[in-house]
Amino acid sequence: MVTKVADARRKAFLESKEKFGNIEQMTKAFHTSKYTVWFDAEGDIKCCSKESKEVFDKKFNSAKFTDSEVAIFKNSNWGLYRVRTDDKVDSVHYIELRPIDDIITKQDDFLSEIEKGSVRGADIKVKVAGKKFTVALCPKVIKEYKDVDPDTAVIRGQTTLKFYFTTYKEPSFLEYNFNVPFRKLLVDKTITVTLPYEMNQSSIYTVKLFDKYVRI
């Protein structure tokens, strides 16, 4: 599967080179082209890229946005934003901040608290140490996805692991939200980020995509 993806990228590169003539023109065209943002019926952002993604074309709606429009969420937590379709013109779309209540209580999402316990049989383990938050894949997930190209990998149809820090045992009181791209986690195996402040006493909730999450 990795070979097929690599071949497809090589083919796309050669086609672009032939079209634009040289690398400089290719780069210029890339930076001036618009992003495609794929989203579901609720406006949840599923993917954002300047490259074609046939796998997303088949499953989700899409709209074009400029670099400045995408900048609002590109390096942030995607779960905090959504794509809204204009009330009068269905071909016009906006990227907007999602209401806090909507972040926590989405219709089809069930939040589960990640509690402390044994890592035996776990799929995902997380750790909070002061202002550091670490997410790691456990061996059985690494083994399960070892032959899957990270760029096309999904878990139960999703490409993002979502984590919500709340007041202790109070999922309605959101303190911080962080999304982990599944493809990045497959590549790095462990991801550590800096939180805005120490959150050792906060509860952590997630939209449960794997069978077992554990907090260590």
Q: Is 88 helix (H, G, I), strand (E, B) or coil?
A: coil
- Between CA 84 and CA 94 the distance in angstroms is 5
Whether the model clears a pTM of 0.85, i.e. scores above it, the answer is: no
Q: Which residue has the tokens 């986690």?
A: 185
pLDDT given for residue 50 in this prediction: 85
d(CA 176, CA 63): 28
User: Which residues, 6+ apart, have CB-to-CB distance to 154 below 8 Å?
Assistant: 182
Residue 25 has what pLDDT?
A: 57
DSSP state of 99: P
DSSP codes of every residue in 151-197? GG--BTTB-EEEEEEEETTEEEEEEEEEEEEHHHHHHHSEEEEE-SS
Beta bridge partners of 103: none
**Residue 64 in 3-state DSSP?**
strand
pLDDT tens, N- to C-terminus, the chain (216 residues): 444 545 555 565 565 556 656 666 555 555 678 899 999 988 988 888 888 888 788 889 999 999 989 988 876 667 778 999 998 898 999 998 877 556 655 544 567 899 999 999 999 999 999 999 999 999 999 999 999 999 989 888 889 999 989 888 877 677 888 889 999 999 999 999 999 889 999 999 998 899 999 999
What is the per-residue pLDDT for 166? 86
Sequence ranges of the domains in the chain: 2-103, 111-215
Q: Other C-beta atoms within 10 Å of 148: how many?
A: 14
Burial class (CB in 10 A: 0-12, 13-18, 19+), 133: buried
Helices (H) and strands (E) in the chain, counts: 7, 13
Say what the pLDDT of residue 56 is: 84
